[in-house]
């Protein structure tokens, strides 16, 4: 066993040399992708690196389409859904009839959720007076309150008071839905997106328009 291990270790320099020769023989583009892949692997080994890298990926605009991709009317079950904010105030979706809604499901332990939060905050500051932002979590309110204070976010967070309707259920986090003034779901997506973009603002502007 020791002899095999020693031979294995002795062979490591040859292995590294062979890999290096193969790397040098690659095209410039192939080398670039190899280096980028290595940087991504290293970054994702550390929590701070993961968040930074996710936000960097968001800034490229290559993930998470924010285009209109649905045309589904809210059901009565969905309209009856009740939410409660951090101050204990309740709101039922039926009370928001005729108003546009940005609905996002998230959690503090969800890396992609946290990565897109700054862009949601920017969108809220820009269009929060026109669109209802319902940022929904199932976590303990105190956990959310502490997170919001630490990150200095102002968007409103809500907690379900009754079971989530099947139509609005989130199979993954984050999940985002945009509901227009006519009560139709015009956008549904899972995964992080860049909401601080002109495409996102155009989506919300379309949610504010009557057809």
Can you tell me the distance from the alpha carbon of 195 to that of 153, in angstroms, rounded to the nearest whole number? 15
Q: How many CA atoms lie within 13 A of 210 on its CB side?
A: 2
Residue 53 contacts residue 183 (beta carbons within 8 Å): no
Catalytic residues: 110, 113
DSSP H stretches of helix in the chain? 2-25, 28-43, 47-60, 76-79, 111-127, 141-151, 198-207
Question: Quick one: tokens of 206?
Answer: 């379309």
- Tell me how far CA of residue 103 lies from CA of 34, 42, 154, in angstroms: 38, 34, 15
Length of the chain: 211
Residue 193 contacts residue 121 (beta carbons within 8 Å): no
- Helix (H) / strand (E) containing 80: none
Going by C-alpha positions, the residue among 41, 40, 67 that lies closest to residue 56 is 40
């Amino acid at each position: 066993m020791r002899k095999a291990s020693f031979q294995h270790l002795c062979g490591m320099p040859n292995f590294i040399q062979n890999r290096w020769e193969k790397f040098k023989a690659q095209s410039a583009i192939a080398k670039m992708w190899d280096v980028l892949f290595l940087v991504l692997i290293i970054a994702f080994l550390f929590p701070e690196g993961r968040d930074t890298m996710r936000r960097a990926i968001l800034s490229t605009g290559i993930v998470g389409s924010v285009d209109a991709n649905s045309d589904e009317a809210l059901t009565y079950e969905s309209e009856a859904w009740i939410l409660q904010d951090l101050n204990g105030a309740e709101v039922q979706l039926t009370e928001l009839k005729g108003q546009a809604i940005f609905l996002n499901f998230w959690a503090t332990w969800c890396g992609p959720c946290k990565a897109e939060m700054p862009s949601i905050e920017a969108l809220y500051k820009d269009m929060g007076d026109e669109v209802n932002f319902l940022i929904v979590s199932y976590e303990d309110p105190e956990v959310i309150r502490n997170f919001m204070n630490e990150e200095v976010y102002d968007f409103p967070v809500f907690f379900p008071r009754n079971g989530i309707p099947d139509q609005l259920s989130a199979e993954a986090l984050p999940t985002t839905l945009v509901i227009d003034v006519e009560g139709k779901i015009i956008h549904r997506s899972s995964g992080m997106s860049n909401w601080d973009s002109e495409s996102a603002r155009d989506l919300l502007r379309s949610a504010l328009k009557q057809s």
